[in-house]
C-alpha cells in the first residue's frame, strides 16, 4: 500500500509539473509552430553552436597541448643541464659519509635555484640523497614538496633509475599553483641522488585560458552573426511567402482583386507573377461560375413562377374533372385520378424548386419563436397516419411528458419532420417507424427510425443530395419530388443544427434532427445517439460533427 500511495503521489506531482511546463512554454511552442523564420534561425544557431563549439574546443585543446609540450621540452633540456651541474659538484665526494657532502648539496641546490615561486612563479629545486641516512631532502625555496613529489614518483626515480615526470597542483604560501615536476637520478661516486625540478605552469595556464576566452568570444560572435545572417536570408524568403498567404486569405474571403507586388526578376518574383496569374484565372472562373449560378437560380425561379399561371388554370380544370369522375367510364375516371395526383406532385415540385432557389440565393430567412415541439411531432404523425395505414406501417411516438420548448421556425421544422417520417414510411417495408424526442439544456433531438431496407455504406451522405434515391427501381408511394431531404438539411443548417443519417443494409435507417434550444447557439452534442441503441451490432456513438 505505501508503494502504491507513493506512486500515486509521484504521478500526481508529475502531471502538475507537466501542466505547469505546458502552460509556461505554450507561447514558445506556438511561435515555433507558426513561424518558419524562428525555426530556421533556431536550427541555424543550434547547428552553428555545435560546429563552432567543437572546433573551438579542438583549437583550445590543441593550443594547450602545444604549450605544455613546449614547456616540457624546455624543462627537460634545463633538467639535463642541472643534472650535469649536480653531477659535477657532487662527484668530488667519494663517500656518502663525507662531512662536507651536506654543504655541497646545499650549495648545489642554491646554485640551481632560479626564482621564488611566491614572488615571480619561479621553479623549485630539491635534491634527495637516498643512501645517506642522516641527510634528507634539500629544497629551495623552503616549501613543502610532499604534494608535488609523490611516493610513486620517488620509487620510479630511486628504484628504476629513470627520469619521471608528472603534473601536480600544490598550495604554496596560500596560493594554489600547478607544477610540472621532473625527477632524475644523479650518479655519483658514493651512489646516486635524486634531483627534482618543479616548474610552475602559471604562464602556460594563463595563456591557455586566454586562448579559450578568445576562442569562446570569437565563437559566440560568429554564432550571433550566423543567426543574424540566417534571419536576414530567411526574412527575404519568408516575407514573400507571408504576403502570398495574406493575399490568398483575402482571395478566399472574396476579395478577388488582390494581387502580389512583383519586384525584380528572381525566383520570388517569378512566384509572385505566377501567383498573380493564378489569381486572375481564378477570378475569371469564379466570376463566370457566379454568373452561371445566378442565371441558373434566376432561370429556376422564373420558370417556377411562370409555370404557376398555367398550372392554376390546369388545376381548375383538373379539379372540375376530378369532381365529376363518378359519372365517367372507369378508364376515364382513373385518368382523372392520375391527373389529380400528378398535378399535386407537380405543384409540390414547383414549391420545392422555389424554396431551393431561395436557399441558393441566400434569401431564406428564419422566423424563430419559442415553440413546443411535441404538438408539431403529433401533428405530423396525424397527417401521415393515412399513408402509414395504406403501407401497413405503425407509427410509434416516444415523447417526453414535459413540453419541449425551443426557439425554432415551426413551419420549417414541421416540413423537415414531414419529409423524414414520409421517407421512413416509404422504406419501412411494413415494419414500425419509431419517432423519438429528447432534450437537454442546450439542444433538442428528434430521431426517426425505420427497420426497412437500410442504407449501404457511404449512402448516409448521398441521401441528402438533390434528386438522389437509394433504389431508383422502387415505386414511390408518397410521390415525392426528390428535393425533400435537400430542403430539410438546409432548414436544419438555417437553425444552426444538424440533420444526420445512419443506415445499414437489412437493419433499417435512422435520421436525427438536432436543433439548439436557443437560436444562434453552437451545438456540441446531441441528446440522442445517431446509431440506434436497439441495433444488434451497435458499436457506440460516433464523434459529433458541427
**Segment 114-153, tens digit of pLDDT:** 765 444 456 888 888 766 656 667 788 877 778 888 888 8
Under DSSP, is residue 17 helix (H, G, I), strand (E, B) or coil? helix
Residue 237 maps to a domain: no
**Count of residues making up the chain:** 546
Contacts of 190 (CB under 8 A, 6+ apart): 93, 94, 95, 96, 98, 101, 131
416 near 493, Cβ under 8 Å? no
375 & 500 share domain: yes
With b for 16 or more beta-carbon neighbours within 10 A and e for fewer, the 318-356 pattern comes to beebbeebeeeeeeebeebeebbeebeeebebbebbebb
DSSP assignment, residue 324? T
Q: Would you give per-residue pLDDT tens digits along the chain (546 residues)?
A: 567 778 887 888 888 888 887 888 788 778 777 777 788 888 888 888 898 888 888 988 888 889 888 988 888 888 888 888 888 888 777 776 777 777 887 888 888 887 654 444 568 888 887 666 566 677 888 777 788 888 888 888 877 778 888 888 887 777 788 888 998 888 877 777 888 888 888 888 888 889 889 988 998 998 889 888 888 888 877 787 778 878 888 877 777 777 877 877 777 788 788 888 888 888 888 788 777 777 766 776 666 667 767 777 777 877 778 787 777 788 888 888 788 777 777 776 767 666 666 666 666 677 889 999 999 999 999 988 888 888 899 999 999 988 999 998 888 898 889 889 988 998 888 899 999 999 988 899 999 999 988 888 878 788 887 777 655 554 444 445 567 788 888 888 888 898 999 988 888 899 999 999 988 888 888 899 988 887 765 444 443 332
Domain boundary among 207, 242, 257: 207
Residue 374 maps to a domain: yes
Residue 539 maps to a domain: no
How far apart, in Å, do the first and last CA atoms of the chain sit?
47
SS (H, E, C) 173-221: CCEEEEEEEEEEEEEECCEEEEEEEEEECHHHHHHHHHHHHHHHHHHHH
100 & 186 share domain: yes
75 & 25 share domain: no
251 near 240, Cβ under 8 Å? no
Q: How far is CA 528 from CA 7, 154, 514, in A?
A: 40, 93, 9
390 & 487 share domain: yes
2 & 115 share domain: no
Residue 95 maps to a domain: yes
User: What's the maximum distance between 2 C-alpha atoms anywhere in the chain?
Assistant: 167
Q: CA–CA separation, 261 vs 243, rounded Å?
A: 9
Residue 501 maps to a domain: yes
Residue 498 maps to a domain: yes
Under DSSP, is residue 520 helix (H, G, I), strand (E, B) or coil? coil
93 & 6 share domain: no
387 & 510 share domain: yes
Residue 384 maps to a domain: yes
| CATH number for 384 | 3.30.565.10
With b for 16 or more beta-carbon neighbours within 10 A and e for fewer, the 139-174 pattern comes to bbbebebeebbbeebbebbbeeeebbbeebebebee
Express as a percent the part of the chain with pLDDT over 70.
87
C-alpha cell belonging to residue 42: 533556431
**Domain total in the chain:** 4
Q: CA–CA separation, 455 vs 470, rounded Å?
A: 7
| CATH number for 125 | 3.30.450.20
343 & 464 share domain: no
26 & 97 share domain: no
Q: CA–CA separation, 39 vs 321, rounded Å?
A: 81
Domain boundary among 207, 223, 239: 207
User: For the whole model, what pTM was predicted?
Assistant: 0.48
The domain in which residue 83 lies consists of 71-207
173 & 75 share domain: yes
346 & 375 share domain: no
Residue 233 maps to a domain: no
2 & 91 share domain: no
Amino acid at each position: 500500500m505505501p508503494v502504491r500511495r507513493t506512486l500515486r503521489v509521484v504521478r500526481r506531482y508529475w502531471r502538475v509539473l507537466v501542466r505547469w511546463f505546458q502552460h509556461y512554454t505554450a507561447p514558445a511552442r506556438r511561435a515555433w509552430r507558426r513561424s518558419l523564420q524562428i525555426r530556421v534561425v533556431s536550427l541555424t544557431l543550434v547547428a552553428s553552436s555545435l560546429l563552432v563549439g567543437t572546433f573551438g574546443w579542438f583549437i583550445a585543446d590543441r593550443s594547450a597541448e602545444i604549450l605544455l609540450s613546449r614547456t616540457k621540452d624546455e624543462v627537460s633540456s634545463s633538467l639535463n643541464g642541472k643534472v650535469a651541474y649536480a653531477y659535477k659538484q657532487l662527484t668530488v665526494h667519494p663517500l656518502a659519509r663525507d662531512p662536507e657532502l651536506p654543504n655541497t648539496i646545499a650549495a648545489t641546490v642554491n646554485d640551481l635555484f632560479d626564482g621564488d615561486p611566491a614572488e615571480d612563479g619561479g621553479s623549485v629545486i630539491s635534491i634527495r640523497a637516498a643512501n645517506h641516512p642522516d641527510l634528507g631532502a634539500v629544497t629551495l625555496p623552503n616549501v613543502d614538496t610532499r604534494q608535488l613529489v609523490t611516493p610513486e614518483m620517488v620509487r620510479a626515480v630511486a628504484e628504476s633509475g629513470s627520469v619521471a615526470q608528472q603534473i601536480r597542483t600544490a598550495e604554496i604560501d596560500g596560493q594554489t599553483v600547478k607544477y610540472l615536476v621532473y625527477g632524475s637520478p644523479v650518479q655519483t661516486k658514493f651512489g646516486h641522488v635524486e634531483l627534482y625540478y618543479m616548474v610552475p605552469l602559471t604562464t602556460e595556464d594563463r595563456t591557455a585560458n586566454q586562448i579559450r576566452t578568445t576562442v569562446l568570444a570569437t565563437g559566440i560572435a560568429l554564432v550571433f552573426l550566423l543567426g543574424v545572417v540566417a534571419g536576414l536570408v530567411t526574412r527575404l524568403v519568408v516575407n514573400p511567402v507571408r504576403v502570398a498567404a495574406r493575399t490568398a486569405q483575402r482571395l478566399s474571403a472574396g476579395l478577388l482583386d488582390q494581387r502580389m507586388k512583383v519586384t525584380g526578376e528572381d525566383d520570388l518574383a517569378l512566384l509572385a507573377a505566377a501567383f498573380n496569374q493564378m489569381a486572375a484565372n481564378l477570378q475569371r472562373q469564379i466570376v463566370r461560375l457566379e454568373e452561371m449560378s445566378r442565371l441558373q437560380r434566376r432561370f429556376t425561379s422564373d420558370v417556377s413562377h411562370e409555370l404557376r399561371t398555367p398550372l392554376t388554370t390546369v388545376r381548375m380544370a383538373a379539379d372540375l374533372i376530378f369532381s365529376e369522375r363518378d359519372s365517367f367510364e372507369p378508364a376515364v375516371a382513373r385518368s382523372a385520378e392520375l391527373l389529380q395526383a400528378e398535378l399535386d406532385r407537380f405543384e409540390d415540385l414547383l414549391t420545392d424548386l422555389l424554396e431551393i432557389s431561395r436557399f441558393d440565393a441566400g434569401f431564406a430567412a428564419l422566423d424563430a419563436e419559442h415553440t413546443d415541439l411535441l404538438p408539431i411531432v403529433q401533428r405530423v404523425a396525424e397527417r401521415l397516419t393515412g399513408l402509414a395505414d395504406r403501407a401497413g406501417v405503425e407509427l410509434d411516438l416516444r415523447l417526453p411528458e414535459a413540453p419541449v420548448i425551443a426557439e425554432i421556425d415551426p413551419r420549417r421544422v414541421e416540413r423537415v419532420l414531414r419529409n423524414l417520417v414520409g421517407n421512413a414510411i416509404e422504406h419501412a417495408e411494413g415494419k414500425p417507424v419509431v419517432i423519438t424526442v429528447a432534450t437537454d439544456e442546450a439542444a433538442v433531438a428528434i430521431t426517426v427510425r425505420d427497420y426497412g431496407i437500410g442504407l449501404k455504406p457511404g449512402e448516409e451522405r448521398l441521401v441528402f443530395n438533390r434528386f438522389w434515391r437509394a433504389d431508383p427501381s422502387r415505386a414511390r408511394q408518397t410521390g415525392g419530388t426528390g428535393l425533400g431531404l435537400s430542403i430539410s438539411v438546409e432548414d436544419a443548417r438555417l437553425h444552426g443544427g444538424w440533420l444526420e443519417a445512419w443506415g445499414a443494409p437489412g437493419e433499417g435507417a435512422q435520421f436525427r434532427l438536432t436543433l439548439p434550444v436557443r437560436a444562434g447557439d453552437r451545438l456540441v452534442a446531441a441528446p440522442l445517439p445517431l446509431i440506434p441503441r436497439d441495433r444488434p451490432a451497435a458499436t457506440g456513438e460516433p464523434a459529433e460533427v458541427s
